[in-house]
Structure 1
Amino acid sequence: MYKILAKINKLILPSFTKQRLDLAKAKKWQIALIGYRYYVTTRALD
């Protein structure tokens, strides 16, 4: 389930690393989105 969700996230959600987002200046929703993507990715790798 997480592998499918990770692929959907990769297609739909923006990549902040490509945009060179500074985490110190990131907004709350951007940090939440990064945390969500991290959670899904780590679960997909298991």
Structure 2
Amino acid sequence: MKKILFSILAKINKLILPSFTKRRLDLGKASKLQLLIFGWRLYVTKRAL
């Protein structure tokens, strides 16, 4: 059940949130909000797998 929930959430994140890896964002220079979004996407993707 959790895996299905996180899989759906990952698809929603992909549509709504920006992809920083495609933009070649340097994580050393990223703002706190960008790091938060990056971490959230990473967490959801890891739980969906």
TM-score by length of 1: 0.94
Q: Whose radius of gyration is greater, 1 or 2? A: 2
> Is 1:44–2:44 an aligned residue pair?
no
Scaled by the length of structure 2, the TM-score of the pair is 0.88
Aligned residue pair count: 45
User: Structure 1 residue 22: deviation in Å?
Assistant: 0.3
Q: Which runs of no fewer than 5 residues in structure 2 stay unpaired?
A: none
Partner of 1:31: 35
Unaligned runs of 5+ in 1: none
The structure with the greater share of residues assigned to helix is 1
* Structure 2: distance between partners of 1:29 and 1:13: 12
Task: Tell me the equivalent position of 1:2.
Answer: 6
- What RMSD over aligned residues (CA atoms) do the two structures have, in Å? 0.4
Quote the offset at 1:34 in angstroms.
Answer: 0.5
SS of 1:37's partner is helix
Residue identity matched to 1:14: P
